[in-house]
Amino acid sequence: MPASDLESLKTDEWRRMLDVNISGVLNTVAAVLPHMIARKSGHIVNMSSIAGRKVFQGLSVYCATKHAVAALSDGMRMELAPKHNIRVTCIQPGAMETELFEHVSDTGYRATMEGLRDQMKCISTGEVGETIAFALEAPAHVDLAEAFIMPSQQPW
């Protein structure tokens, strides 16, 4: 999640975000989908972000990649559930306790993001895991298509 203004032209960071956030999801889907289709069941959980629905200054490229994951997930759900009994869930967390802030090379944006930890208690990976478990445990005819999980104190 590198953050910087577009005019900084950090194209290497852009490519890495595209590779991880979009190509990574597509490559994973390509790896598991033939097996799920063969057994006529499965559940794919994709990780997007609140940035997949809201755009934040300095995160334009990151937001674009997370929008792509949300759109892909919805399309997958529509295509795969009726034909192959494969459910798709898109998890869209808000502020989390992760190492993502360490990848921000712009010092101004990094300080702002690290300041979030002082403003609210961020959600943990375990709390996101509980949300994923909830989606996976839903009855077979139910697809929790999207889940936003955010700190209760997060204003955006």
The domain ranges of the chain are: 6-149
pLDDT for the residue numbered 57? 87
pLDDT for the residue numbered 99? 66
pLDDT bin (cut points 50, 70, 90) of residue 147 is: very high
Q: What is the pLDDT of residues 47-103, one digit of tens each?
A: 999 999 999 888 899 999 999 999 999 999 999 999 999 999 999 999 888 666 666
> What is the CA angle 23-12-45, rounded to 5?
25
Q: What is the pLDDT of residues 14-32, one digit of tens each?
A: 999 999 999 999 999 999 9
- Options 3.30.110.30, 3.10.450.50, 3.40.50.720, 3.40.190.10; CATH of 6-149: 3.40.50.720
> Known catalytic residues?
62
The mean pLDDT of 110-137, rounded to a whole number, is 86
Per DSSP, 96 falls in state B
With b for 16 or more beta-carbon neighbours within 10 A and e for fewer, the 142-153 pattern comes to ebbbbbebbbee
C-alpha–C-alpha distance, residues 84 and 134, integer Å: 22
Nearest CA to 13 out of 59, 54, 71 is that of 59
